Amino acid sequence: MAATLEKVKCACSTCECMVSPDKAIEKDGKYYCGEACANGHADGSHGCGHPGCTCGG
């Protein structure tokens, strides 16, 4: 078994998603699961495109 791909929780405070750093959107040294989270849901969007996730509300 080679190295395990380490996942980190999306830096969006209310987001529960786990993201791989190599696939995540990095902003200010933090990892986000998507654009909506990365920009702090500035557009008022809820959720991040993942089923069941209602972060940003």
Write out the two tokens for 43: 């557009």
**Sole binder of Zn ion in the list 24, 30, 56, 57 (CB under 5 A):** 56
Phi-psi region of 14 (alpha: psi -120 to 50; beta: other; left: phi over 0): alpha
Residue nearer to Zn ion on the CB measure, 1 or 27? 27
Q: Within a 13 Å sphere around the CA of 56, how many CA atoms are in the beta-carbon half?
A: 25
Please give the residues from 10 up to 49 whose contact with Zn ion meets the rule CB under 5 A. Answer: 10, 12, 15, 17, 33, 37, 48
Binding site for Zn ion (CB under 5 A): 10, 12, 15, 17, 33, 37, 48, 50, 53, 55-56
